[in-house]
Structure 1
Amino acid sequence: MDPALGLSFAVVLLMGVLISERASRTVISTAVLFLLAGFLLGQGMLGVITVESADPVVLILSELALFSVLFTDGMRVGVTDLRAAWRLPGRALVLGLPLTLVVTAVLAHYVAGLPWLESFLLGAVLSPTDPVFASAIVGRKEVPGRLRHLLNVESGINDGLALPIVLVLLAMAGGTEAGGWQLTEEILLGIVVGVAVPLLVLALERLPFLSAERHLEPLVTVSIGLLVLTICMATHANLFLGAFAAGVTIATVRPEFRDEFEQFGELVTELLKLAAILVFGALITPSFLFQEIPLAGWLFAVLALVVARPLALLASFLGTNLPRGQRIAAMWFGPKGFASVVYGLLVLQSGIELADQLFHLAALAIVLSILAHSSTDVLIAKKLSTTPG
């Protein structure tokens, strides 16, 4: 890693930790801090962080962070959890996700002028959500539990659901060397590895002569993640779907391991995400925002936030008894999260004809989303905490 990048991350991380308690009561968020720091330290401003989108560190860091995100997301949504309270998250996923994708694609075609295939690819990139960028909503007990559960379960699953769509559309656009059957094999093999490895390790752990000490139990889960990562890389299985499947398997078979791993896993995931957001911010330059993206692109990015998800969730929640305030909050808090960052980078490095334009539009929507959602979560959380229901 570039020493300047490492030092920048360490300094910004220290600053973020030291102001985190005060920032949690304001419109400032850690994600915004790292995004702005990356922007200011990047080549377009101070030139401290000198990374390009094609640099190996960008893709490697992003892939590791997304693997960790999907692994921990999967552990939030074991089969038992889904059965216990599926109605609202199910609507958001089964109806809301594809509707968000379609509405975003329509906007990309008619507003940004993209061809239909690339429009649907952009819609798939921007359809997952990440409430980590709206942590005051999902992390505050004052906010109604029904809403927190809805956003947590939805975000925990939609990254994994959107990924196969991104991969298939990217292959159709000529962005991967894998053909249809090979791509299917990679996806299925990733799921098989993600299910088989945890089952095998957890079966070994149950043997009477094999037992981890209490304080080392989180490392059992870490070892499962590392095994899935390395096996997927060695076999060319899809490591992201492997990560998600492994997390779901652990949460379903041994939920107590999920609880042991939770704090450690969240910290590791947060570190990787923040490092990737810092690098992502360094890729955003003033010329990127104000010269390379036309007015139609800005209009698309705004509409993707204020129209696509709200319209999709409005249709999805028809006939439910979710209170109006919670319904509006769920419609608004669909941040374009970290998965979208990595999916956008995958498109950029795929070499398809419109890769640069797609990445520019995705990056602008993500930046606007981080700024808008991370700046309004505290205010709306306070409002929800004083609203009955």
Structure 2
Amino acid sequence: MGSLLLAFAGMLLLAVLLSSLAHRTILSTAALFLIAGFVLGDGALGVVSLAPGDELVGTLAELALFAVLFTDGMRVGWAELRSAWRLPGRALGWGLPLTLAITAVGAHYLVGLGWIESLLIGAILAPTDPVFAAALVGNEKVPPRLRRLLNVESGVNDGLALPFVMVFLAIAAGSQDLHLGELGLELGLGVVIGVAVPWAAIKLEQTRWFSASTPYEPLNALAIGLLVLALGKATHGNLFLAAFAAGITVATFGERQRESFEHFGELITELFKLAALLVFGALITPALLGSVGWTGWLFAILALVLARPAAIWLSFLGSGLSVREQAAVAWFGPKGFASVVYALIVLSSGIAAAQQVFQLVAVTIVASILLHSSTDIVVARGFDDERDVPAWFGKARRLRGRLPEDGQS
């Protein structure tokens, strides 16, 4: 524990010192923590020694995913979803299940996994993460509708993929461990807690008897999140759906609470993300990377360059997006933090194929982080010339297309 804390503290300081450089170059702090975990883990230096069954691994994965889903939900209140649903709706309603299905087919036929385990891998790898495409999402020269599409999609698809992960994991575990009826009750109870607790807390603050002072305002949403977490633990409701529902409820009914918590919440979530990436990297060893074989690596590459692009191309037929925009959306479906935590959950679940599922997900995430975090700036800069062209030039070019060339009648 002491060595892990020391490693995390040192890496966090290094990430802070390099954060300005990371915003301007292909350097990724997420990739930095993943690589650091790999180098410091048992597969290399052995400074950080962790086993998949360690309580710390499961607890950190649980808290990290809770924090991520809570803040993700806050980014996409019902107002945002209604005003910008057309394009993200295609990516979520069609793109996500198509990505899941294509990935599952690859896992089944390339690697030879059973259909349930293949569908579980598809559900784990379906969500996207804007952290590994930050230069694209944060570049104001990238078309606003494209940035909004990627932001909304990545904010919602973690929560949408979660029920699929839980159901396929429960089936893979066998009926003796968890009945689907019990799973449905657990998921439903999580949603109820996630809606009821923040709604009641916000309504209480809106009465004349209660009011949060300015210094305490950022703690309001934090207290709501902790209460949702505690009630979920006490009642065995699904913590992750509760977190996602709670975030959406705060965003919908408590705009002030969301604004005051936004920066504070993102910092807390970032700490959990980086810690989980360090642990995830420490669990990846050279032996693990080699044990998947060439079929495993082929699956990982195809999951990135075929599954998502094919699903997005089919989903956005007739959408009005340009070819360049569709290509950017198709490529930047990086497998990020939610996939990391889902993989850790599967690894500690005890199902027969847990190790193989984790290995395949691990190599896919490693490939995704290296490929996407090193190409986001390059792709984002591809939009610079297009956005820098003056408006009058575009009008003149269109007018010229309708007139005869010089010297022609």
Question: Which category describes the TM-score, using the shorter chain as reference length?
Answer: over 0.9
Post-superposition shift, 1:45? 0.6
Q: Partner residue of 1:39?
A: 38
What SS class does the counterpart of residue 274 from structure 1 fall into? helix
Q: Partner residue of 1:128?
A: 127
Q: Partner residue of 1:305?
A: 304
Q: Partner residue of 2:198?
A: 198
Of 205-214 and 220-229, deviating more is 205-214
Q: Is the 8 A contact 1:144 1:385 kept in 2?
A: no
Matching residue's letter, 1:366: I
1:136-147 equivalences under 5 Å are 136-147=135-146
Unaligned runs of 5+ residues in structure 2 are: 390-409
What SS class does the counterpart of residue 375 from structure 2 fall into? helix
Q: Partner residue of 1:164?
A: 163
Q: Is the 8 A contact 1:175 1:347 kept in 2?
A: no
Matching residue's letter, 1:87: R
Percent of paired sites with the same residue:
59
Q: Is the 8 A contact 1:108 1:119 kept in 2?
A: yes
2: CA distance, partners of 1:384 / 1:272: 33
1: CA distance, partners of 2:174 / 2:236: 17
Q: Partner residue of 2:259?
A: 259
1: CA distance, partners of 2:102 / 2:231: 37
Q: Is the 8 A contact 1:72 1:247 kept in 2?
A: yes
Q: Is the 8 A contact 1:175 1:351 kept in 2?
A: no
The one-character-per-residue Cα deviations of 1:299-323 (angstroms, maximum 9, x if unpaired) are 0011000000000000011001112
Q: Partner residue of 1:296?
A: 295
1: CA distance, partners of 2:139 / 2:7: 30
Q: Is the 8 A contact 1:61 1:272 kept in 2?
A: yes
Matching residue's letter, 1:233: K
Post-superposition shift, 1:142? 2.4
Q: Partner residue of 2:53?
A: 54
2: CA distance, partners of 1:198 / 1:206: 12
Question: Runs (4+) of structure 1 moved beyond 3 Å?
Answer: none
Unaligned runs of 5+ residues in structure 1 are: none
2: CA distance, partners of 1:246 / 1:301: 34
Post-superposition shift, 1:68? 0.3
1:190-339 equivalences under 5 Å are 190-290=190-290, 292-339=291-338
What SS class does the counterpart of residue 24 from structure 2 fall into? coil
Post-superposition shift, 1:258? 1.2
Q: Partner residue of 1:117?
A: 116
The one-character-per-residue Cα deviations of 1:42-83 (angstroms, maximum 9, x if unpaired) are 111111101111111111111101000000000011001011
Q: Partner residue of 2:186?
A: 186
Q: Partner residue of 1:355?
A: 354
The one-character-per-residue Cα deviations of 1:71-124 (angstroms, maximum 9, x if unpaired) are 000001100101101000000000000000000001111111111111111101
- Larger Rg over CA atoms: 2
Q: Is the 8 A contact 2:61 2:345 kept in 1?
A: no
Post-superposition shift, 1:24? 1.6
Q: Partner residue of 2:71?
A: 72
1: CA distance, partners of 2:384 / 2:47: 42
1: CA distance, partners of 2:46 / 2:186: 39
Q: Is the 8 A contact 1:175 1:350 kept in 2?
A: no
1: CA distance, partners of 2:346 / 2:78: 32
The one-character-per-residue Cα deviations of 1:120-166 (angstroms, maximum 9, x if unpaired) are 11101110111112111112222221111001110111111111011
Of 321-330 and 92-101, deviating more is 321-330
Matching residue's letter, 1:279: V
The one-character-per-residue Cα deviations of 1:191-228 (angstroms, maximum 9, x if unpaired) are 00000000110111011121011232111100000000
Post-superposition shift, 1:173? 1.2
Q: Partner residue of 1:4?
A: 3
Q: Partner residue of 1:173?
A: 172
1: CA distance, partners of 2:384 / 2:228: 41
Q: Partner residue of 1:154?
A: 153
1: CA distance, partners of 2:173 / 2:46: 34
Post-superposition shift, 1:387? 2.3
1: CA distance, partners of 2:174 / 2:88: 32
1: CA distance, partners of 2:70 / 2:35: 27
Q: Partner residue of 2:402?
A: none
Post-superposition shift, 1:386? 2.6
